[in-house]
Structure 1
């Protein structure tokens, strides 16, 4: 049986390596190493084809909020597929799940956001937001308002425009993206950018920079500002206190729309279904949702727009009364049914309360790793956390990229049964919201040992010293 399983695993591994193009593939080693093939999951555990169990410390990719293998979701999927798996939602067609989910999302968002456009993920939702905003300004006679303010280290997706909104510069290499529309502000990255400034002074600097750009470019040329409440793939960066409210106030002052990209932060990861208003005191003009909206069980994203924007874009135009934007799978009935059931489970089972209870403990336990010599910074909030690894704490001196410091820790952790996400010099933890005290404690123990083993490796290889 073991031989047969290993043979089957090799067959699948080979098919994957030879025929599947993975997102963000590292082609330096993929053709020889391939991918780990995972077969099943339950709650916050996943299992590879050999049956080895791992703690899923990253919720698949920020998204499996209710945990793996939820039977209610499986049943809801089956039930809807029997009723109506798909029908188009163009113009004069709709579905019960899409209508119900649209109303439910509007009820979760700030009061001015009542209109939902569905897609299949965060990249599509961000592209849609920009397209709608540009359309809005064209319709009200302000066609010059096209510029978009983003930020260094922002992550907003990887479709053509969303990739340009993303401020992680190495990912732009050799892609022809529409950079002429985008301006990147300094990331609110205290560990690297605050230097000798106090938190208040750092926030002042960031706000001054934003307003100076607006004044230089001219508010008549700027359409919107897009921001993640806590920056995700760019480093789990928590902005200084008051930052979001002040950037929002600047946008209102200068007639610039504010887009809150809550692809990661919504649906419980920070202890709230929607964090913009609850945690940061802002009512954006647009909120972007995906990932936790369906807990990753089906591809689903949403662009939620204000009454102000909708009132303009919904006016029929004499030349063309249509809103000429949409996709085959917009409002997909089966996906919307899953989204509804997912939200029902999150609310009924008190996932936000669970995260509010255990999030501070998780943060505290991760900070206990600060005594390790290569842990430079520990940051994040609730179930969205990160370690930044450095060669020397006092100088914050970074490891050379070719050392692959985070990847080394990742490999040690995986051998011991914990999946974390390595990004450059970062170790990211964003587990399913089923994570309890036992899972937190186990993860911290494994992570500590993994970092210690990594330091031993570096010493043996003579590429680092105490």
Structure 2
């Protein structure tokens, strides 16, 4: 204990945190060559749409943390809710007790959900939310006497989590190169990325191609073996892939016709990112069997996620011939009273003005980002709501990012950091998803810095002889 006290006494500044991280902290998504021995950019404070790094530099928080700080940093009303709830009830076991904030939050969330989604199971985040939805699908089919109906359909470019089953659905480059997964349970489909559709093909024809692939896969694998389709309305970490118009509604109908549960993964798109509490119904016109959510439900102030489940599914379980069958799934922090209290106040703030503001400012955000297509290194700018992606390519003819530089996004991020903007770099892409409270002048600042960061990166690549565009 004495050694631990000494260590705490020495952690006085940014330099100490860096050294402690190198000596003791394992970062997420590390490379084997630096695992357990690296320090990343230190963030000291946040305020509104801004953060301050370890050197005191003020930065626009371009990714809103990790798609999640929707109402902005340093909201005193959320801090007070955390304190007050912790002083009233800091925790209760969900195995045989419950708390009032979770019951009220479930009702409030169900009120925003499309279709007959009426009941909520709370988790600790997005990965556990997707894991819960998949385990519920397995349970549901077991109870209904269909133990063979367990395969899960997902798509290239998808990201659904880091737990074992949720991670098995991922389709992003490099995320599965050295990791195991439940590959025998997953059926992969193509990414719905219009930018990389076959040359000469219209977007509507591309949508037809994707739907045909879905039908062909059902015929080949057997609809009686497929339990669920899991899809993000907009593929977030895959590079903000906005699917062709009508594609999701057509997939939803095929799932309904073949008794396949449609799971809409709204971990990123829910709670205002696209201007609504849920995008499935309000933006894309679909009524899934389940919706998973996390991130923006508390604006990142507390770890919380969940699954909204169709009343139809629950009623079928209640009417089954196996009333004693147990859904053997739960988490120590399921329905955490502090997290649910924070989420309730966060939802108040979103409903009061932030959702409307996000809808009002989103077209300007998209239009200003789109001006970056003038830059020679940029292949496409795409997005929806307050999420956008700038994809860089070696040349627009081949659309090949790998001939250029696998980490060009990191180069741009480094320049932008110097200029006052934090970027989410994804290989050859820069993803932007600022807090929903951002105003037009701040959008102008963000885009201007990003433009300069890309320009400086182009100069670097030319000097190195990597790119001559």
- Give the TM-score normalised by structure 2: 0.95
**Backbone CA RMSD of aligned residues:** 1.8
Q: CA deviation at 1:199?
A: 1.2
User: Which of the numbers 216, 220, 245 marks the counterpart of 1:241?
Assistant: 245
Give the whole-Å Cα distance in 1 for the aligned partners of 2:205 and 2:374.
28
Q: Is the 8 A contact 1:17 1:35 kept in 2?
A: no
1:55 matched residue in structure 2: 60
Q: Is the 8 A contact 1:139 1:312 kept in 2?
A: no
Give the whole-Å Cα distance in 1 for the aligned partners of 2:220 and 2:37.
51
Give the whole-Å Cα distance in 1 for the aligned partners of 2:319 and 2:139.
12
Secondary structure of residue in 1 paired with 2:195:
helix
Q: CA deviation at 1:133?
A: 0.8
Aligned: 1:217 with 2:217: no
- CA deviations 1:224-283 (Å, max 9, x no partner) are 101000001011100001001000011011111100000000111111111101111110
Secondary structure of residue in 1 paired with 2:283:
helix
Aligned: 1:286 with 2:299: no
1:304 matched residue in structure 2: 308
1:72 matched residue in structure 2: 77
Kindly report structure 1 stretches of 4+ aligned residues shifted beyond 4 Å: 27-33, 314-321
Aligned: 1:207 with 2:181: no
Q: CA deviation at 1:395?
A: 2.5
Aligned: 1:38 with 2:49: no
Q: Is the 8 A contact 2:390 2:429 kept in 1?
A: yes
Structure 2 unaligned residues grouped into runs of 5+: 1-9
1:370 matched residue in structure 2: 373
2:4 matched residue in structure 1: none
Aligned: 1:351 with 2:338: no
Q: Is the 8 A contact 2:394 2:404 kept in 1?
A: no
Q: Is the 8 A contact 1:316 1:322 kept in 2?
A: no
Q: Is the 8 A contact 1:378 1:386 kept in 2?
A: yes
Give the whole-Å Cα distance in 1 for the aligned partners of 2:322 and 2:138.
19
- CA deviations 1:29-51 (Å, max 9, x no partner) are 67776211111101100012332
Give the whole-Å Cα distance in 1 for the aligned partners of 2:299 and 2:119.
22
Q: CA deviation at 1:441?
A: 0.2
Secondary structure of residue in 2 paired with 1:260:
strand
Q: Is the 8 A contact 2:24 2:36 kept in 1?
A: no
Number of residue-to-residue matches in the alignment: 460
- Give the TM-score normalised by structure 1: 0.95
Structure 1 segment 181-192 matched on structure 2, within 5 A: 181-192=185-196
Secondary structure of residue in 2 paired with 1:172:
coil
Q: CA deviation at 1:7?
A: 7.4
Q: Is the 8 A contact 1:135 1:313 kept in 2?
A: no
Give the whole-Å Cα distance in 1 for the aligned partners of 2:382 and 2:107.
35
Secondary structure of residue in 2 paired with 1:339:
helix
Structure 1 unaligned residues grouped into runs of 5+: none
1:103 matched residue in structure 2: 107
Give the whole-Å Cα distance in 2 for the aligned partners of 1:409 and 1:339.
34
